[in-house]
Amino acid sequence: MAEWSFLTNHAQALLCIAHDPGVRLRDIATTLMITERRAYGIVADLTRAGYLVKVRDGRRNRYQVQGHLLLPDPIPRSTTVGEVVALLVGDSGAVAPVAPVVRPAPRDLTRADG
């Protein structure tokens, strides 16, 4: 087994949440083979960065993936979180809906008033 992963724990946690917005931190930790405390830190990072919105549902949390946000990485700057989730999950994977990708229309820089 490889000692490294193609996707970071943050990306894998985001995919877990995209599959099940009501997933428990304990289940994320088990899936990723990390501690529950680390899973909490990853979800907190994603929430602080705006990629997740946490909603209280009784005694549990539900999460909403903000798919319209751009990735923070320097290479795929024009790629959104939702596009990556859709690519990784594919047509066969059941995934909870993410916020729609809305790209602003390009500005016409040749006009005098723009």
Say if CB 13 and CB 51 are below 8 A apart. Answer: no
Q: What is the CATH number of domain 9-89?
A: 1.10.10.10
Q: How far is CA 80 from CA 17, 95, 110, in A?
A: 16, 16, 28
Alpha helices in 59-103 (DSSP H): 81-89
Residue 93: its pLDDT value, please? 46
Query: DSSP state, 107?
Result: P
Separation of CA 47 from chain center: 10
Ordered per-residue pLDDT tens for the chain, 114 residues: 557 778 899 999 999 999 999 999 999 999 999 999 999 999 999 999 999 999 999 999 999 999 898 888 776 667 888 888 888 877 554 445 444 444 455 554 555 554
Residue of 21, 29, 14 whose CA lies nearest to 61: 21
Query: DSSP state, 20?
Result: -
**pTM assigned to the model:** 0.71
